[in-house]
């Protein structure tokens, strides 16, 4: 490496540059935080039920099989748009019943097909979880995913 760059100069560039980029990053994250609250995520419609649903989503570690907004395991379908896939936009009641029926039918036990466990959720739990999935489907996420398949 060139003799013009001394070790102490390299060190100073490292510390100074890191602080510079960290400051920009923090400023943009603050702006994004406000954008999420005020623009993209319908935070004003974030009900207790949706938050309870999110906790159920976490308690049962759904993300270690499924993805949500593309993040998680890749063993089972994407769920940020499962509400749309079940026709929730046109027929919310039908989608809710359809999803509850899906949960009730698990595990299918079909040989050679991936199995979802039976989580024994109460009707209230199911409503909370479905409220969470419905709310998630309504986040403005730059039109991801590209198709209904998720």
Partner 1 sequence: MTYSSQRVALYYFGGALVLFFVQVLVGVLAGAVYVMPNLLSETVPFNVIRMIHTNALIVWLLMGFMGATYYLLPEETETELHSPRLAILQFWLFFVAALVAVVGYLFGIHEGREFLEQPIYIKVGIVVVSLMFLYNCTLTLLKGRKTAVANVLMLGLWFVAIFFLFSFYNPGNLSLDKMYWWWVVHLWVEGVWELIMASILAYLMIKLTGVDREVVEKWLYVIVGLSLFTGILGTGHHYYWIGTPGYWKWIGSVFSTMEVVPFFAMVIFTFYMVWKGGRKHPNKAALLWSLGCAVIAFFGGGVWGFMHTLAPVNYYTHGTQVTAAHGHLAFYGAYVMLNVAMMTYAMPGLLKREVYNQTLNMWGFWLTTGGMCFMTFTLTFAGVVQTHLQRVMGMNYMEVQDQIALFFWYRLGSGVAVLLGVTLIIYSLAIPGREGGRVSTPQGAPNPAE
- Considering only residues 50 to 109 of the shown chain, the ones binding partner 1 according to CB under 8 A are 50-51, 54, 57-65, 67-78, 107, 109
Of 144, 131, 125, nearest to 45 (Cα)?
Answer: 131
- Retrieve residue 60's tokens: 């049962």
Q: Are strands 71-72 and 67-68 parallel, antiparallel or unpaired?
A: antiparallel
One character per residue 123-142, x = contact with partner 1 (rule: CB under 8 A): ---------x--xx--xxxx
Cβ-based burial of 12 (10 A; exposed 0-12, middle 13-18, buried ≥19): exposed
Does residue number 147 form part of the binding site for partner 1 (CB under 8 A)? yes
Q: How far is the CB of 131 from partner 1 (least distance, A)?
A: 12
Which 30-49 residues touch partner 1, going by CB under 8 A?
Answer: 31-33, 35-37, 40-41, 43, 46
Classify residue 60 as exposed, middle or buried by CB count within 10 Å of its CB (0-12, 13-18, 19+).
middle
Closest CB to partner 1 among 59 and 93?
A: 59
CB 38, min distance to partner 1, A:
11
Smallest separation, CB 97 to partner 1 (Å): 21
Question: How far is 33 from 82, CA to CA, in rounded Å?
Answer: 25
Rounded to whole angstroms, the Cα distance separating 121 from 7 reads 61
Q: Are 37 and 43 contacting, i.e. CB atoms less than 8 angstroms apart?
A: yes
**Looking at beta carbons only, is 93 or 99 nearer to partner 1?**
99
Q: How far is the CB of 126 from partner 1 (least distance, A)?
A: 17
Q: Please pick, from the candidates 4, 111, 122, 123, the single residue that binds partner 1 as defined by CB under 8 A.
A: 111
Nearest distance from residue 104's CB to partner 1, in Å?
17
């Amino acid at each position: 490496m060139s003799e013009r760059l001394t070790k102490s100069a390299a060190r100073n560039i490292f510390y100074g540059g890191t602080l510079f980029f960290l400051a920009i990053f923090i400023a943009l994250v603050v702006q994004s935080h406000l954008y999420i609250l005020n623009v993209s995520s319908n935070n004003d419609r974030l009900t207790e039920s949706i938050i309870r649903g999110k906790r159920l989503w976490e308690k049962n570690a759904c993300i270690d099989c499924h993805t949500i907004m593309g993040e998680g395991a890749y063993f089972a379908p994407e769920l940020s748009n499962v509400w749309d896939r079940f026709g929730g936009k046109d027929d919310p009641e039908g989608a809710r019943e359809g999803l509850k029926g899906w949960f009730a039918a698990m595990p299918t036990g079909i040989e050679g097909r991936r199995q979802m466990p039976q989580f024994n959720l109460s009707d209230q739990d199911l409503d909370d979880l479905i409220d969470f999935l419905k709310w998630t489907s309504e986040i403005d996420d730059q039109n991801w995913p590209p198709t209904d398949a998720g």
